[in-house]
Structure 1
């Protein structure tokens, strides 16, 4: 019984470690200045992002997700960030959620209404540039 309980505790600990993985990636849009850095916490999405960067994924290569109007330390050049739980990758998306990074930053006060309704962002020209290894 004690062995079984010990194994159970080990499995729970391992599960917490695996599910707490996070990785950071950057993308640019046409006409964009600085890379936009975002965090992923889902192991499958992390794998997809790495496959995009390696060239193994060539279909769903653009970044989309809901954003929040607050700055994150890992993304210091922008006053908004993508919610890690709401990020995915796409090939095609509707036009209403498309905009260049600089335009979003300049018009952030208008976002989440008629401009980028529901705070949903899908920049068609988004291109992953790199994975960032945080210290």
Structure 2
């Protein structure tokens, strides 16, 4: 009975994380001008965790970009940690790692459940396991994450 309760709890947690991070669905079709505007409005930030490993994230939502800048300037201390959905492919702006966070899924948080917490090097070492019991739904929320600087367009 205890195992069943634990499994149900883990499934419910994964579902809640997926709903929280996924946000509203967006259409796949966009005009060239709109795509260019989004690319031009992207901002890149370096985050670290307890290991001090640097990981670059790309933000495209103006509200989230402003929140990140407010965190860096000290204008706010709310929701200092990064959460998002892993893409198991390298990104040109995050060359050190073989994965990145999908920009449209990135958000900030104060507290999160343990099932999505891991350090950056640990995720890299266990990337093939991500999406199963390790980081269900590919949701990653390093509890010790914090932004340390903004990068110019890489």
TM-score bin, normalised by smaller chain: 0.7 to 0.9
TM-score, scaled relative to structure 1:
0.84
Contact 1:32 1:100 in 2 (8 A): no
Cross-structure match for 2:88: 69
Q: Which runs of 5+ in 2 are unaligned?
A: 1-32
For residue 44 of structure 1, what is the aligned residue in structure 2? Answer: 63
Deviations 1:27-71 (A, max 9, x none): 0111143x1001011100000000010011102100001010000
Aligned residue for 1:37, secondary structure, equals strand
Deviation at residue 19 of structure 1 after TM alignment: 4.7
2:45 corresponds to? 25
Report the 3-state secondary structure (helix = DSSP H, G, I; strand = E; otherwise coil) of the residue aligned with 1:74: helix
Which of 1 and 2 has greater Rg?
1
Mapped contact 1:19–1:43 kept (Cα < 8 A): no
Secondary structure at the residue paired with 1:85? helix
**Aligned-pair Cα RMSD in Å:** 2.0
Per the alignment, residue 109 of structure 1 pairs with 128
Runs of 4+ in 1 over 4 A off after TM superposition: 14-20
8 Å contact 1:32–1:101 — kept in the other structure? Answer: no
What is the aligned partner in structure 2 of residue 4 from structure 1?
none
Structure 1: gaps spanning 5 or more residues: 1-13
List per-residue Cα deviations over 1:56-108 (Å, max 9, x = no partner). 11021000010100001110111110000000000000000000000000000
Report which of the two has the higher share of helix: 2
The total of aligned residue pairs comes to: 123
